[in-house]
């Protein structure tokens, strides 16, 4: 952590009696974006678990969703990953879960930031395709060789599955310090697969070979806990084949998948507090709006980001604030025990509903986008801003997804949102919701053509 240029600001808020001043410290300097949040232990609905409740999305009984609970580790900054056993004899690797790409790829050569790798020569079931492959992400890239091999998922569908696998031989900015995974599981559609859509993605292979429904759902439980904690967290759950009702509360609201490449959705408007940003809704979808677990932050197109920051500065209870906090170059620090979350507004994203004359909103509490990073000398708690500008998309990333149970219902071309049970006690009584609203604005055309 680089800490430069201490700046002492004053922060005020009202109670029913008087105005108080709380010292606010800003620390400059780029911090490691790969180190963000640790995990809050998953809160289960114990009575439901004990009764064996699970949604009958898989009447054939191929999978038991309860077996998949807690099959993820990690956090939004360093990624959520699950264990897989690859090759013959089997090698256990941790694989990053990413709904924003479509290749299954694992380290196949030594790298200073990983502890072990997949050696194709030692697997008797590996078959090379003789084709090279290269993938670039928003952060990082890799090159390697395509082939096939067998995998099993200890906390997933039963049986052995043969999948396309990219052996990563060279990479830059992909494996990072502090990570605990050695590969990536792309869960998007074939159109994003590299080098071309003929490379069947992992989940397509799982559905085809096991017969499970073409649905998976994600619960990621890293919100609200500092990245400096030493606790061993349970990162959440990837449910393959359906929906596990012990992982969410209330109703599920669905939005259509507009095009099957990324999980592209349509955003109708944004609100900060009760303030409508009043932008042309096409700006929210420039040039696409997607749901991507592999992106750490909520990323907004430039004009939208600027409008959100301006609205936060107007509606928050902070008198003055360094622009560096919003730019990602400074951490904001409060005295230990002085939570900043009450000082920031909620942010609401309105999505088009399956009934296209309706919309629903997902409301993002400050606990999700004002994120604890570290403490200083046991006296200050420091936070980062969990929203950033984007040049080419609105990305509903892990910052938002950590508050919700997100259902990727590929069979019916829709993405669902419900309040996650692991969002923690800070959700209750704070108006945290995923609710339907009727609005004439749903007749708007918000897509860029």
Known catalytic residues are 98, 292
In this structure, the chain runs to a length of: 449
Give burial (CB, 10 Å; 0-12/13-18/19+) of 181. Answer: buried
Q: Name the CA dihedral angle for 336, 342, 345, 351, rounded to a multiple of 10 degrees.
A: 90
**What span, in angstroms and rounded, lies between the C-alpha atoms of 403 and 367?**
9
Order of all β-strands in the sheet with 236-240: 236-240, 215-220, 404-409, 414-420, 248-256
**What span, in angstroms and rounded, lies between the C-alpha atoms of 193 and 276?**
37
Structure tokens at 51: 């009764």
Structure tokens at 394: 């609105």
Name the nearest CA neighbour of 132 among 107, 167, 108: 167
The 3-state DSSP class for residue 107 equals: strand
- Would you call the peptide bond into 287 cis, given omega within 30 degrees of 0 as the criterion? yes
Largest CA distance in the chain: 74
| Cβ atoms of residues 411 and 213 within 8 Å | yes
End-to-end CA distance of the chain: 44
- How many H helices and E strands in the chain? 7, 30
The 3-state DSSP class for residue 309 equals: helix
| Cβ atoms of residues 292 and 189 within 8 Å | no
| DSSP category for residue 115 | S
What is the C-alpha R_g of the chain?
22
């Amino acid at each position: 952590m680089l800490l430069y240029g201490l700046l002492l600001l004053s922060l005020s808020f009202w109670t029913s009696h008087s105005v108080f001043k709380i010292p606010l410290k800003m620390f400059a300097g780029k911090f490691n974006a790969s180190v963000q949040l640790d995990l809050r232990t998953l809160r289960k609905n114990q009575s439901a678990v004990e009764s064996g409740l699970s949604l009958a999305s898989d009447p054939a009984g191929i999978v038991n969703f309860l077996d998949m609970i807690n099959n993820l580790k990690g956090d939004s900054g360093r990624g959520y990953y699950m264990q897989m056993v690859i090759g013959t004899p089997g090698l256990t690797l941790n694989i990053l879960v990413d709904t924003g790409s479509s290749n299954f790829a694992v380290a196949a050569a030594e790298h200073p930031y990983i502890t072990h790798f997949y050696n194709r020569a030692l697997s008797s079931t590996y078959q090379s395709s003789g084709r090279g492959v290269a993938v670039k992400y928003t952060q990082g890239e890799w090159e390697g060789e395509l082939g096939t091999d067998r995998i099993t998922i200890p906390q997933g569908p039963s049986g052995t599955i043969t999948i396309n696998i990219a052996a990563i031989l060279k990479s830059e900015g992909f494996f990072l310090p502090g990570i605990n995974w050695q590969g990536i599981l792309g869960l998007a559609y074939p159109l994003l697969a590299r080098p071309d859509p003929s490379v069947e993605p992992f989940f397509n292979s799982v559905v085809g070979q096991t017969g499970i429904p073409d649905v998976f759902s994600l619960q990621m439980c890293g919100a609200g806990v500092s990245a400096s904690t030493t606790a061993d967290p349970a990162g959440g759950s990837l449910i393959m084949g359906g929906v596990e009702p012990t992982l969410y509360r209330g109703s599920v609201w669905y939005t259509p998948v507009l095009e099957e490449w990324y999980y592209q959705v349509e955003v109708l408007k944004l609100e900060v507090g009760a303030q409508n940003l009043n932008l042309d809704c096409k700006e929210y979808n420039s040039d696409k709006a997607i749901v991507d677990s592999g992106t750490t932050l909520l990323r907004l197109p430039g004009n939208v980001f600027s409008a959100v920051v301006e609205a936060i500065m107007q509606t928050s209870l902070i008198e003055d604030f360094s622009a560096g906090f919003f730019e990602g170059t400074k951490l904001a620090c409060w005295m230990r025990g002085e939570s900043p979350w009450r000082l920031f507004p909620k942010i609401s994203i309105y999505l088009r509903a399956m009934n296209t004359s309706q919309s629903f909103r997902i409301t993002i509490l400050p606990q999700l986008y004002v994120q604890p990073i570290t403490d200083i000398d046991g006296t200050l708690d420091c936070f980062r801003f969990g929203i950033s500008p984007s040049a080419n998309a609105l990305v509903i990333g892990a910052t938002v997804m950590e508050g919700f149970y997100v259902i990727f219902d590929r069979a019916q071309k829709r993405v669902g949102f419900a309040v996650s049970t692991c969002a923690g006690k800070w959700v209750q009584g704070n108006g945290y919701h995923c609710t339907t609203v009727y609005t004439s604005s749903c007749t708007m055309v918000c897509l860029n053509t």
